[in-house]
Structure 1
Amino acid sequence: MSLNLPPFSTTGIGSVPFADPADACRLIAETFDIAFWPQMARRSHREGMIAQWAEGMPYIRFDDAAERVWVERDGTDQLTPFYEFCTDDARMAVTESAAAGLHAFTRLMGAERRPAVKGHVTGPLTFALGLKDEQGKPVYFDEELREITSMLLQAKIRWQVDRLRQSADRVIIFLDEPIFSAIGSSSYLGVEDAEVERLLADSVAAVQRAGAIAGVHCCGKSDWALVMRAGTDILSFDAFEYFETLALYTDDLRAFYERGGLLAWGIVPTSDLIGDADEKAVADSMRRKVDHLCRHLPEEAVRRQSLITPSCGTGSRTAAETEKIFRIIRSVKAAMGQ
């Protein structure tokens, strides 16, 4: 697995605060080495992390006025046709109403060929724990619906890879798993590590079997050993606030690097800390943290197998803050090339 890109190439996580999909795509294409399509949840609740991927789910309900999405069994048989359609190589389209940024991105790219582009999908744990039934219970705790959510996401992964491959030699798909930072807490008792790893590994494998490079993004603390065991090619983490939690996994990181894995360093904050962040301070922080890993792991691998990203998506920030984040990304890359 190789991206064939310079060390410390840049990409983003997904969400942005902008209103116009075409303008957002142009800014992203001009800013990042690895362009990505923008998730634009401020346009519609249908572009939120759960609703965006819920179309095609058996028994799915949307209430656009209340900005709700949930599952409610109604006595009809919606499972049989789903199982008949959702085979191991099924493709399920992501509509423009659910992902305006994705469709604008593919139109902008057109026949242009880039070395790599990036897509994303809500990860299987975050999706199954975030999508609830009419009683407010996560569908994760319904064994059949949990498996259906995994099948649904995999079908949409395959379709997305096919679309993005038209514009790039290599396609990267990140599985966004913000829920990982809460696994093990009292809110998610009954979520077993073995099942977490299985679901994640299944989605990672779906990306890879489709011919793409799989990444897993978590913007908080996580069981990073589990993430690496799931077979991901790229581990995306918040290097600004949570570097120390990853640096503890020296042995796992060594094995990860040896099999060609890449770290996506989320070094530019997307929290309120962006207000006080400046280019020099963030670049200095990146250098210190890379140097720290180099003291414990092979330096060539640490430096060669690295990407630079924001710590998370920028959908919760203002447009001005997002533009600042993008500027700092470029500055950090320049600093790491010196």
Structure 2
Amino acid sequence: MFGKFITTGIGSMPHTDPGSACEIILEKVDIPFWPQLPGLSFRELMIPQYSEGLPSARIDVDRQRIWVERNGASELNDFYETYTDNTELEISEDYSRGFYQFIEKIRGRKFPVLKGQVTGPLTFTLGLKDDAGVPIYFNEEMREVALMVLKGKVRWQMNRLREFCDRLMIFIDEPILSALGTSSYMGVSDGEVKRLLGEIVESIRNENGISAIHCCGKADWEMVMKTGIDVVNFDAYDYFENFRIYSGVLSDFLERGGYIAWGIVPTGIVIDEVDTDSLKDKFLRQFDALSERVGGRLTPERLILTPACGAGSLREDQAEQVFDTLYLLKQRLLNG
């Protein structure tokens, strides 16, 4: 499906000019993606950005707060009356100027693959709290409604992007996976984690999309790979050893056609000190170490090269350096 060492990004960029962010993306990566711009507006952070249409969600941009009112029965009833399995829920321009600018930049063009993204149901429901400060995950009804909203966001963006590409990939951004199992989340069961992720994966596949998941920390990758996901994206710069632990299930994942998105370019301030040749050496050592465990199933055609995480917390020049480095790394690998 992909060529050797194909590249893409995670989502967030630090730019306040959507056009500039889109131009970098279109110039530097093989699979372009629409940029999330948290520096432009609080609404573009990963939880607010997908909150439109969620019953009883309230947002105070000036105070940078978002919460859910608990006494929202009438809004819930209205939601249920209009929602179907085909419902699309818009991400308006106020919540994603990067998306709309991206559409303008690619209008009239056709790409082999484009990438979109959605905040994962666990990060969304554990990060969004009600007016008593309790994550909505622990309200069974709101957890299910939030899942329905996220599915609607997936359908909406896929139906806007599909005319510009042959295949469409949607990344499920789940940074909170790295915290599951800690004391703060003891009430989160493995079965429910797998169900929520599996339903988002299914919603992407129902739209003929490629499903991917991103976590920039430690995670239970065995559980993730058993959700039916097509692509797993991990932070190889800092967490390769954690990922390598799962080589047994990874072998099965690759055997059934899965892909690894290798987050090798760092997105912290260390990017100022990284050079492409040392990064190439680091990647090749990792590739060889993992190949020893999974055999010939791991090939350059089964890989996607990415930054370790989103670049939204960096300065603009640092983010541009991340994508310059990613671009050059691919060239170095292809040229030996």
- TM-score when normalising by structure 2: 0.98
CA RMSD of aligned residues (A): 1.1
Q: Deviations over 1:181-212 (max 9, x none)?
A: 00000111201111011000000110111111
Give, in angstroms, the shift of residue 34 of structure 1: 0.4
Q: Which runs of 4+ in 1 moved over 6 A?
A: none
Aligned position for 1:94: 91
1:211 matched to 2:208? The reply is yes
The 1-side partners of 2:301 and 2:320 are apart by 27
1:67 matched to 2:67? The reply is no
1:17 matched to 2:14? The reply is yes
1:144 matched to 2:121? The reply is no
| Contact persistence 2:55–2:72 (CA under 8 A) | no
SS at match of 1:69: strand
Pairs within 5 Å for 1:169-208: 169-208=166-205
| Contact persistence 2:24–2:320 (CA under 8 A) | no
Select 1:39's aligned residue among 32, 36, 39.
36
Give, in angstroms, the shift of residue 133 of structure 1: 0.3
Return the letter of the residue paired with 1:281.
Answer: S
Pairs within 5 Å for 1:240-279: 240-279=237-276
Give, in angstroms, the shift of residue 117 of structure 1: 0.7
Aligned position for 2:333: 336
1:234 matched to 2:234? The reply is no
| Contact persistence 1:111–1:166 (CA under 8 A) | no
Normalized per residue, which structure has more helix?
Answer: 2
Aligned position for 2:112: 115
The 2-side partners of 1:6 and 1:110 are apart by 24
| Contact persistence 1:267–1:282 (CA under 8 A) | yes
Q: Deviations over 1:215-237 (max 9, x none)?
A: 00000000000110111100000
SS at match of 1:148: helix
The 2-side partners of 1:299 and 1:333 are apart by 21
Select 2:5's aligned residue among 4, 8, 16.
8
Aligned position for 1:124: 121
Return the letter of the residue paired with 1:321.
Answer: Q
SS at match of 2:176: helix
| Contact persistence 2:255–2:297 (CA under 8 A) | no
SS at match of 2:197: helix
Select 1:315's aligned residue among 312, 316, 321.
312
Q: Deviations over 1:63-120 (max 9, x none)?
A: 1110111100345511122112221111111101111111111111112100001000
Give, in angstroms, the shift of residue 272 of structure 1: 2.5
SS at match of 1:205: helix
Q: Deviations over 1:312-333 (max 9, x none)?
A: 0000011111111111101211
Give, in angstroms, the shift of residue 293 of structure 1: 1.4
The 2-side partners of 1:135 and 1:324 are apart by 42
| Contact persistence 2:158–2:207 (CA under 8 A) | yes
Q: Deviations over 1:47-67 (max 9, x none)?
A: 001100001000011111101
The 1-side partners of 2:156 and 2:295 are apart by 37
Identical aligned residues as a percent:
44
The 1-side partners of 2:271 and 2:190 are apart by 33
Give, in angstroms, the shift of residue 301 of structure 1: 3.4
Return the letter of the residue paired with 1:299.
Answer: G
Task: Please say which of residues 59-68 and 218-227 is displaced more in the overlay.
Answer: 59-68
Task: Please say which of residues 171-180 and 247-256 is displaced more in the overlay.
Answer: 247-256
Give, in angstroms, the shift of residue 273 of structure 1: 2.0
SS at match of 1:36: coil
